[in-house]
Structure 1
């Protein structure tokens, strides 16, 4: 089915209000300096998570190496796409994944543009992309750059990390317990699972 027959996910005017990656990172840094984070809810705990996430993103910004086969796949696409990404500064999974999304987009020679929206300020968008009924982030929605119709989606985690998260949660683990184990998984995996799932997604666009 041609994506041209599908309704746009967002109007061009709304897409234009999204944060660039640089603006998103600057926003989080500025809020953190004020003892705050993104979103409506504010607490010492969320600010603490944001502090950790800034460190994670800074590290990933410097170390992510896009897989050669993924770089080749994104550069060989026949048309451009807009990546709509739902995220928040306090979200640990977003901190592990958003820098990878940006790195892949940067490797595409302009075929992918990234547009970052804060989840809690865009619940109408978020509620179209729930995971098991929850507002899990980050969420990537790939749009046809011309029509802004949805052509693919991904998130909130690589399948292996999602299975680990659900197993820990179902076993009664506290937030601190499952966060520690999931972040340890991310550290050990070194973005490989995220990139390989994105490779599958990109190949589906070809």
Structure 2
């Protein structure tokens, strides 16, 4: 596993590089991976969401203290794709958290370029993203998180139990939930994850 992690880290981007790739994709009306009008459209939508959250996302004061006081040096390796809606609501918060602590180094890799890594972090057998892999100084996996907060996962599970599948109605409902939640559930989950590993 360490070799796989090291190999992935050698290809990883920082948040600025990821956003530059995002911008270039939108400008050229493309997406990552296999091209489709749907993916191109999602990429464009997510770029707008990300830009908005980069400006407006806030982290609660008590959580700021938690992240600033994190004494453990960590790399947060995120598996994602620009067309992923859940990622658009997560990455801006990850970046803000990483900026709070000199002990957190945020790195990003694309799912479809790293299938072996992705397959080590499946969610119920599926390649769901984003996945945050929390690594120690020697690249051992301390913990992983994703693809959604516990609260968003419950929303999905309940909807699936009632309707049998995830559809356009749910996707719209999830977006509204993200807008209302303002990253609170995700930030709480990540704070819990690092606090249990100190």
TM > 0.5 between the two? yes
Q: Distance in 1 between matches of 2:113 and 2:150?
A: 27
Q: Return the alpha-carbon distance in structure 2 between the equivalents of residues 33 and 129 of structure 1.
A: 32
Q: Counterpart of 1:126?
A: 118
Matched, 1:186 2:178: yes
Give 1:3's aligned residue. Answer: none
Shift >3 Å, 4+ stretches: 9-14, 172-175
Whole-angstrom distance in 2 between the partners of 1:92 and 1:35: 17
Change (3 A) 1:174 1:80: closer
Unaligned runs of 5+ in 2: none
Q: How many angstroms does 1:202 deviate by? A: 1.9
> Is the counterpart of residue 26 in structure 1 residue 17 in structure 2?
no
**1:113-152 → structure 2 map (5 Å cutoff):** 113-145=105-137, 147-152=138-143
After superposition, residues 31-180 of structure 1 pair within 5 angstroms as 31-39=25-33, 41-108=34-101, 110-145=102-137, 147-170=138-161, 171-173=163-165, 175-180=167-172
Distance 1:68 1:204, change over 3 A: same
Instruction: Give the aligned length.
Output: 197
Aligned equivalents of 2:69, 2:39: Cα separation in 1: 40
Q: For residues 52 and 161 of structure 1, what CA distance do their matches in structure 2 show?
A: 20
Query: What is the CA distance between 1:29 and its match in structure 2?
Result: 1.1
Q: Contact 2:73 / 2:103 at 8 angstroms: preserved in 1?
A: yes
Call closer, same or farther: CA 1:72–1:84 in 2, change over 3 Å.
same
Instruction: After superposition, give the CA deviation of every residue in 1:158-184 in whole Å (9 maximum; x if it has no partner).
Output: 111112123334414553222101111
TM-score normalized with structure 1 length: 0.90
Q: Go from structure 1 to structure 2 and tell me whether the alpha carbon gap of 1:21 and 1:143 turns closer, same or farther (over 3 Å shift).
A: same
Distance in 1, Cα, partners of 2:110 & 2:60: 28
Q: TM-score, normalised by structure 2?
A: 0.93
Give the SS at the match of 1:94: helix
What RMSD over aligned residues (CA atoms) do the two structures have, in Å?
Answer: 1.5
